[in-house]
Amino acid sequence: MFEDLTTAHLADACLRAGVPLRCAALPPVTAGHRAAGRALPCVHVGSVDVFLEAYESAGPGDVLVVDNGGRRDEACVGDLAVLEARAAGLSGVVIWGLHRDTADVRSIGLPVFSLGALPAGPRRLDHRPADALTRATVAGFDVTREDAVLADDDGVVVVPLDRAGELAALAASIRDTERRQADLVRDGTTLRDQLRFAEYLARRRDVPGLTFRAHLRAIGGAIEE
């Protein structure tokens, strides 16, 4: 349902719909890659077995969401974990932490998103929490099986699974409005003219508390919302 949508469109839809925005700056290992699907969360505690166990319950197109606490002293996902994710039918891997084996990961072709790369793997084995396969924390927010994930060059956005269709439709509307605006700019009608910016400045002189977003709502502009 997120086909031909970007994370920016989906983030704007969340703001428009009043859905709490959950997003993280996690770029793809390979530029241009994108992933979308139901979240498959897990907490990494030092061993790859948690990934293998998560794959046992994966559905087609799920996105593995790995909580490694945002650590930058170890890489928690390597080529074998990614290769096995592809074999399990996942559409991508999102890591709140680091990956390694970058060249091999790129050759596998499955979209992977992380905070960066580091050669060193884990040298620890911590206590595994009871919810290690039901909840992941990413950038300060929780991700569960009741969520959907969209990831692209701008990062990752997580939305409630039961509102994904509604948000996708709203995001598509925002996308289409912005594309029309972009086409008009290319044809010579500036964005300022389209958004009646001079009118906004004039009204703001009379109503100092008037915000640009309120003006946009009044005229149906999509930018910023």
Q: Are 43 and 131 in contact (CB under 8 A)?
A: yes
Above 60 in pLDDT, residue 224? no
Cite the annotated binding site by residue number: 78-81, 100-101
Rounded Cα distance between 172 and 158, Å, is 17
pLDDT band for position 217 (cuts 50, 70, 90)? confident
Q: How do residues 162-213 score in pLDDT, each as one tens digit?
A: 999 999 999 999 999 899 999 999 999 999 999 999 999 999 999 999 999 8
Please indicate, yes or no, if residue 174 is contained in any of the structural domains: no
Q: Which of 119, 150, 166 is the last residue of a domain?
A: 166
Residue 66 and residue 140 in one domain: yes
Burial class (CB in 10 A: 0-12, 13-18, 19+), 162: exposed
Cite the annotated binding site for Mg(2+) by residue number: 101
Please indicate, yes or no, if residue 185 is contained in any of the structural domains: no
Above 70 in pLDDT, residue 221? no
Above 60 in pLDDT, residue 10? yes
Please indicate, yes or no, if residue 2 is contained in any of the structural domains: no
pLDDT band for position 216 (cuts 50, 70, 90)? confident
Cite the annotated binding site for substrate by residue number: 78-81, 100
Residue 139 and residue 106 in one domain: yes
Residue 134 and residue 220 in one domain: no
Please indicate, yes or no, if residue 182 is contained in any of the structural domains: no
Q: How do residues 86-139 score in pLDDT, each as one tens digit?
A: 999 999 999 999 999 999 999 999 999 999 999 999 999 999 999 999 999 999
Please indicate, yes or no, if residue 171 is contained in any of the structural domains: no
Residue 157 and residue 204 in one domain: no
Q: How do residues 133-167 score in pLDDT, each as one tens digit?
A: 999 999 999 999 999 999 999 999 999 999 999 99
Please indicate, yes or no, if residue 184 is contained in any of the structural domains: no
The pLDDT score that the predictor gives to residue 223 is 57
The pLDDT score that the predictor gives to residue 222 is 56
- When divided into structural domains, the chain yields a total of 2
**Which of 37-46, 55-64, 212-221 shows the lowest mean pLDDT across its residues?**
212-221
Domain that holds residue 207: 190-225
Rounded Cα distance between 171 and 166, Å, is 9
Rounded Cα distance between 77 and 113, Å, is 11
Of 225 and 175, more confident: 175
Residue 157 and residue 76 in one domain: yes
Q: Residue by residue, what is the 3-state secondary structure of the chain? A: CCCCCCHHHHHHHHHHHCCCCEEECCCECCCCCCEEEEEEEEECCCCCHHHHHHHHCCCCCCEEEEECCCCCCCEEECHHHHHHHHHCCCCEEEEECEECCHHHHHHHCCCEECCCECCCCCCCCCCCCCCCCCEEEECCEEEECCEEEEEECCEEEEEEHHHHHHHHHHHHHHHHHHHHHHHHHHCCCCHHHHCCHHHHHHHHHHCCCCCHHHHHHHHCCCCCC
Above 50 in pLDDT, residue 40? yes
